[in-house]
Structure 1
Amino acid sequence: MIDRVRNFINKEKMINGGETVLAGVSGGADSVCLFYILMSLSKELSFNLEVIHINHMIRKEAEGEAFFVEKLCEKYNIPFHRKDVDIPRIFRESGLSEEEAGRIERYKAFEEIADKIEKEKGTKVLIATAHNTNDQAETMLHNLFRGTKLKGLSGIKPVRKHGNHTIIRPILPLSRAEIEEYLHSIGQDFCVDQSNNTDEFTRNRIRHNILPVAEKEINKGAVRHVAEAAAFLSDIDDYIEDKARLVLNASSVTKDGELVIDLDKLQDISPFVKERLMMLALKEILPGIKDITAAHIDALIEMAENSAGTKSYDLPYKITVTRAYNKMSFCKKDKTENTGGKKEKGNYSKVRISKNELTTKGKETFDLPGLGEVRLCLFPADNTKEIPTGEYTKWLDYDKINNTMSFRTREKGDRISVSNGTKTLKKLMIDEKIPAHMREELIIFADDEEVIWIPGFRMNDKYKIGESTSQILAVEVTSLQLVKGR
């Protein structure tokens, strides 16, 4: 097993020699295995090993796990760094999920300790994490089920940049079963996180209910095959990224924080390369754009390929993309610019629609800054028509709307009915993993304090069409300016 890891490290060019490898060790089987294998290879591959343990302060067992890792390092005289992070507090204040808050703070701590080591010892620091084959398979399936393109299917990269440092995953080729068998063979205990045995998190459901069935009833090598497919797709993804980078460099100029692409030079490139080029262009303006989705990229490609007139799109992180003739510009600026109209909460104009007025007119079309062109149409229910299921088109039971409707940003007291009861809008946004920075600017369609629909996210179950529906209100966002940032 150590030979396999050594070969993998060499194949991926993870360690050149002379570096310090800072290994994240939680005390679980994966990270303890990482610790032993790196310790075994440190002399041969000429690197110094140090360990960081992060106490997330979530579970009562956390202090014991920190003590376990510290004693393990003392036993082998390996430098030990401990970082306590109050994840429950950050979770409450940020609006992120506990899992996402933990991941973000974990990598912040890695960076902080790596910077400290580099400053004190003058050596390059590599950050090693204990991701394995099962993690790779779970990540690929998780992304596939949520909706993704090639990059999401590529799973976990063996080597990647993070801030000023490089993250390496030396035991990525090893399965969880192999890891535990190895630790048992050398008589080494490890900590068990009981939360991993529950189905509270989506990843755990894949781990407990999908992969075991696949291995038992389809192919015993299912996990390995999924991980191998992710690695193969990762190579393809790297190839496309290299091609896109070459095209971007040849077709764009950057000045004063604005990147401008000559669209005439994108005429003959592959759609796959064009998609990646758009993502790279956004990263040139603001690295780390996690909330940019396939919907955003599709909107930008549509803009690039449609030469009629001048168009502008606002994206998360206050990025604005504008097309004028054959030039497409990317820049970061305040969303309050060029929106026009009287501003209320969230820098958006509030649009009210009277029920009586809509009943008389039948149709209503208007532009809503921050969302785009919105069209409302009222018509009698017809059971022969297929109800649309698009994220930006909804048919509603008009009879259940009681008050003046409005498109607006969220307000205190907003609530929404879902299958398991009524939630506050704040709780729903957390459950839907809508990023905290988007919540104040997200446009909702409301019936007084009752949220009817969050375009791009969730509709209120109360307003769904049923057998008793007599009138249908069709609401469609026909020209997106700000699309969902999940």
Structure 2
Amino acid sequence: MLEVKVEALLKRKSTSLEGTSILVGVSGGPDSMALLHYLQENKENWGIRLTAAHVDHMFRGEQSLHDALFVKGYCDKHSIPFEMARINVPDIIKRTGKNGQAASREARYDFFGKLMGKYGFTYLALAHHADDQIETILMRLTRGSAGKGRAGIPFMRRFHSGIIIRPFLEATKEELIDYCKRKGIEPRIDPSNEKEIYSRNRFRKTVLPFLKNENPNIHAHFQRYSEDLIIDEEYLEELAAERMVTVMKSREKGKIEIDILAFLGMPMPLQRRGIQLILNYLYEETPDSLGAIHIDQVISLLNRPHPSGSLDLPGGLTVIRSYLQCIFQFGHSEKKPFRIEVWDTGKVALPNGRVILVEASGRPVAGAGPDCTYLAVSQADLPLIIRTRENGDRMSLKGMHGSRKLKDIFIDHKVPVPERESWPVVTDSRGRILWLPGLKKSAFDSSVDSEESVWRLVYSKEPTSGGHMENEK
């Protein structure tokens, strides 16, 4: 019996509705009408404040408007406050390209959220039931969902300023229909529930009857699976979150960078959930097409012997691996080439956020590292040029015969691929590469005791605002 199942579920979940305020999502169908009636019957005993909310998605013209008027009439008859919205979902679909079910759900929940905030309801009560739970779990497993997504519909979850609650989650569809008959409720029937163009309807009409025939108690097994999986996932997610703090090198809106060695040092169950946590953080709205297979692809990318590679995920998220770091970001960050002419001493602020200091020097100091070079004034034809690399760039290295490609130097020093496009290259006016800041000095470096005038160039991490020249005063 429905009432017994609901009371047992609330008791098992240690949840009391007494003294609360409840907004009920009501479509006019048997599920939501049964929920509204059930709460209305217990309103006085539990001391609850009750309001019904209905959304007309405007798919079926006058027919859907009559659904709204039916719900309003019921609420008027039983003195239940009523809120409704007419939202042109077909127009939203036309403008955004979203599928009908997703657009409807978004519009509906947005309306419910506004009411929750406006009136301060404790709960938003929804009429999802045991059949919905089975269908949702099967659909998500079929689609390839990961993590808690496989668990289906939770009994409770946070929503805006309150909590979504589903008191009917252990009751079957048949029990809800029986309740409506016992209470004399004649609900509205949405004909779209019979259309097999919707995957949920196909599961409902084909798979669910088969499972019920195999085991009449299938609902209880699926609900237990859901609850066990949620508990396990929450524990593993907590462990993964603790480890990911040591793995992430940086985190900002739309971008996360991780240390690959630290990540691969985590147990595989935590690796999978660590990737899921990254995706949850970056996606404002998770694409329907995102699934467990994409987590597998990311982990495969991080385990490949090749030091670099990239992966395009749904929704425009790109995963870029370069040596021992991996960057998750939306879209490829565009690296614009730059060219800065230097005619005098001063600071050159670079687009990569670093600085090259150019100053006149007396005598070179031996032993300076790759962040500093000395160039004889007579050997460096002005203006000095600081630019991004170009195809075929080669430089003659200090202390070596011949020349090397800049590409090979970047590879030797394991410079991440995204950074190579904005790495500064210093040449003279004749195009000869004089220095690769922070990496290599050229054969033109004059780090020896000499009476000749020299330029001293220093590459530093001083924060700047972008490529320009600041003359010293």
The question of a shared fold, defined as TM-score above 0.5 by the shorter chain, is answered with yes
State the alpha-carbon separation in 2 of the partners of residues 335 and 266 from structure 1: 23
Tell me which amino acid in the other structure corresponds to 1:65: D
Q: TM-score scaled by structure 2?
A: 0.63
1:210–1:319: structure 2 CA closer, same or farther, 3 Å change rule? closer
1:231 equivalent among 227, 230, 233:
227
Task: Indicate the SS of the match to 2:320.
Answer: strand
Identity of aligned residues (%): 28
Does the 8 Å CA contact 2:287/2:314 hold for their aligned counterparts?
no
* Residues 214, 296 of structure 1: alpha-carbon distance in 2 compared, 3 angstrom cutoff: closer
One-letter amino acid of the counterpart of residue 55, structure 1? D
Return the match for 2:138 from 137, 141, 144: 141
Equivalent residue for 2:239?
243
Matches within 5 A, 1:291-440: 291=288, 292-306=290-304, 308-332=306-330, 334-335=331-332, 337-338=334-335
State which drifts further: 79-88 or 5-14. 5-14
Q: Residues 319, 200 of structure 1: CA spacing in aligned structure 2 closer, same or farther, 3 A cutoff? A: closer
- Contact 2:117–2:160 (CA<8 Å) still a contact in 1? no
Task: Rate the CA distance shift 1:248–1:164 in 2: closer, same or farther, 3 A.
Answer: farther
Partner residue of 1:203? Answer: 200
Separation in structure 1 between the aligned mates of residue 232 and residue 169 of structure 2, nearest angstrom? 19
Partner SS for 2:328 = strand
Q: Secondary structure at the match of 2:91?
A: helix
> Given the superposition, is the C-alpha separation of residues 67 and 288 from structure 1 closer, same or farther in structure 2, using an over 3 Å criterion?
same
The 3-state SS of whatever aligns with 2:117 is helix
Deviations 1:42-65 (A, max 9, x none): 455554221110111112421221
- Deviation of residue 161 (structure 1)? 3.3
**Could you tell me which amino acid in structure 1 is paired with residue 68 of structure 2?**
A
1:1-20 Cα deviation digits (max 9, x unpaired): 33432442354466676653
CA contact (8 A) 1:323 1:329 kept: yes
- Partner residue of 2:113? 111
How far the C-alpha of 1:22 sits from its partner, in A, is: 1.4
CA distance in 2, matches of 1:200, 1:296: 27
Q: What does residue 431 of structure 2 align with?
A: none
Distance (Å, rounded) in 2 between the aligned partners of 1:158 and 1:166: 10
> What is the correspondence of 1:40-59 to structure 2 with a 5 Å cutoff?
40-42=41-43, 47-59=48-60
Unpaired stretches in structure 2, ≥5 consecutive residues:
338-473
Cα deviation for residue 178 of structure 1 reads 0.8
- Say if 2:128 and 2:166, in contact at 8 Å, map to a contact too: yes
Deviation at 1:26, TM superposition (A): 0.5
SS at match of 2:311: strand
In 2, distance between residues paired with 1:138 and 1:11?
A: 23
Decide whether the 8 Å contact of 2:244 with 2:263 is kept in 1: no
Q: Which residue of 1 aligns with 2:69?
A: 67
Q: CA contact under 8 A between 1:129 and 1:168: conserved in structure 2?
A: yes
Give the secondary structure class of the aligned counterpart of 2:39. Answer: helix
Task: Spell out, residue by residue over 1:80-119, the C-alpha distance to the aligned partner (whole angstroms, 9 max, x if none).
Answer: 11010112222233222222221222112222222222xx
Structure 1 residue 156 corresponds to structure 2 residue 157: no
Retained in 2: the 8 A contact 1:132–1:174? Answer: yes
Q: Are residues 1:212 and 2:209 paired?
A: yes
Q: Matches of 1:268 and 1:208 in 2, distance apart?
A: 46
Give 2:36's aligned residue: 35
Is contact 1:261-1:327 (8 Å) kept?
A: yes
The CA deviation string for residues 405-457 of structure 1, in whole angstroms up to 9 with x for no partner, is: xxxxxxxxxxxxxxxxxxxxxxxxxxxxxxxxxxxxxxxxxxxxxxxxxxxxx
Distance in 1 between residues matched to 2:266 and 2:42, nearest whole Å: 45
- The TM-score normalised by the length of structure 1 is 0.61
Q: Give the Cα–Cα distance (whole angstroms) in 2 for the partners of residues 206 and 149 of structure 1.
A: 20
TM superposition shift of 1:204: 1.2
Amino acid in the other structure paired with 1:52: A
CA distance in 2, matches of 1:141, 1:185: 31
Structure 1 residue 132, shift from structure 2 partner: 0.3
SS in 2 for 1:238: helix
The offset of 1:325, in angstroms, is 4.0
What does residue 8 of structure 1 align with? Answer: 9
- When residues 17 and 304 of structure 1 are mapped into structure 2, their CA distance, relative to the original with a 3 A threshold, is farther
Cα distance in 1 for partners of 2:185, 2:17 equals: 29
Take 2:97 and 2:208, find their aligned partners in 1: how far apart are those partners?
Answer: 31
- Structure 1, 195-204 or 312-321: larger mean CA deviation: 312-321
Counterpart for residue 98 of structure 1: 100
Q: Secondary structure at the match of 1:61?
A: helix
Contact 2:124–2:163 (8 Å) recurs in 1:
yes
Question: Which of 288, 300, 305 is equivalent to 2:285?
Answer: 288
Q: Distance in 1 between matches of 2:160 and 2:313?
A: 23
User: Which residue of structure 2 lines up, in the alignment, with residue 186 of structure 1?
Assistant: 183
Which protein is bigger by CA-based radius of gyration? 2
Structure 1: distance between partners of 2:325 and 2:333:
23
Given the superposition, is the C-alpha separation of residues 145 and 315 from structure 1 closer, same or farther in structure 2, using an over 3 Å criterion? closer
- Within 1, Cα distance between the matches of 2:45 and 2:300? 53
Cα 1:302–1:70, aligned 2, differ >3 Å: closer, same or farther?
Answer: same
Worse overlay, 247-256 or 95-104:
247-256
Q: Relative to structure 1, is the Cα distance of residues 312 and 165 closer, same or farther in structure 2, using a 3 angstrom cutoff?
A: farther
| Alignment partner of 1:85 is 2:82 | no
Change in CA separation of 1:298 and 1:162 when aligned onto 2, cut-off 3 Å: farther
Contact between 2:30 and 2:180, CA under 8 Å: does it hold in 1? yes
Amino acid at match of 2:64: A
In structure 2, distance between residues paired with 1:33 and 1:43: 17
Q: Is the 8 A contact 1:211 1:223 kept in 2?
A: no
2:126 corresponds, among 126, 129, 153, to 129
Is the contact made by 2:144 and 2:293 (CA closer than 8 Å) also made in structure 1? Answer: no
Instruction: Tell me, yes or no, if the aligned pair for 2:54 and 2:71 is still in contact at 8 Å.
Output: yes
**CA offsets per residue over residues 251-274 of structure 1, 9 Å max, x none?**
335454343333444345332321
Once the two structures are superposed, residues 323-358 of structure 1 have per-residue CA deviations (whole angstroms, 9 ceiling, x without a partner) of 3444333344x5462599xxxxxxxxxxxxxxxxxx
For structure 1, the residue ranges without an aligned partner over 5 or more in a row are 118-122, 341-486
Distance 2:9 2:162 in 1: 20
Note the C-alpha offset of 1:69: 0.9
Instruction: Report deviation, 1:133.
Output: 0.2
